[in-house]
Amino acid sequence: MKQRSEQGGKDNLPAEIKQEVLPALSVSNELRAFKQQVNGLNEVKMVNEIMKTERSYPSLIKRSREDHALLIDEICLLIIDLQKFYNTKEKLSEDQILDLAEIIVGEYTNLTMLDLAFCFKQGKVGVYGKIYERIDGGVLLGWIREWDNKRMNMIIDRRESEHIQQKAAWGGAARSSDGTLKQWIQKGKL
């Protein structure tokens, strides 16, 4: 935490935004513990995890480079778990699940396994709408796309908020476009 405060005023953030360290659990080795961890998350905690400088969960592209087969297996486990939750009449076949996992890794390289699990949790609680006897690749890719967009917007909002707080900590000094740098320096703002 000390290292965080030295990096630019993170101590000024509201309590609900402060960082919380999540241990990196593996889907394949610790599915139950991983699911419990995901169930305890909300959007603010997810953004905290995403914005940590030393993230516990590497991106899908990094994991793919390390062990592509294991990554695909773990994504398949998440999809199978989601199918069990909904208990729909028509299930994705093994080939469809594998194909979907490959598409996810190829299209959403910046996401992490924690992002995917959180997205699927949000789907389970109805954030992305009702499921009418159908869980397929299109539905799941729509959820992931929606989470990815929301995630990026939340990151942008957080960074803008941090910038405003940092600017306020500097005394609100900002050069207007009306003046020159020389005039701004003469006013003692630098």
Each of the 190 residues of the chain gets a pLDDT tens digit; together they read 333 333 333 344 444 444 444 556 666 567 777 788 888 888 888 888 777 766 678 899 999 999 999 999 999 999 998 998 887 788 899 999 999 999 999 999 999 999 999 999 999 999 998 887 778 899 999 999 999 999 999 989 888 888 888 877 776 555 445 456 666 666 665 4
Query: By three-state DSSP, how is residue 180 classified?
Result: coil
Q: What is the pLDDT of residue 111?
A: 93
- For residues 113 and 63, the answer to whether their CB atoms sit within 8 Å is yes
Amino acid letter, residue 85: F
* 113 vs 101: CA distance, rounded Å: 11
Taking alpha carbons only, the member of 65, 48, 66, 44 closest to residue 56 is 48
* 175 vs 184: CA distance, rounded Å: 6
Residues in the chain: 190
User: Which helix (H) or strand (E) covers residue 156, if one does?
Assistant: helix 137-169
Taking alpha carbons only, the member of 107, 14, 113, 100 closest to residue 71 is 113
pTM here is 0.71
* 5 vs 70: CA distance, rounded Å: 36
| Cα–chain center distance at 13 | 19
Q: What is the pLDDT of residue 68?
A: 95
Amino acid letter, residue 73: D
Taking alpha carbons only, the member of 30, 106, 117 closest to residue 68 is 106
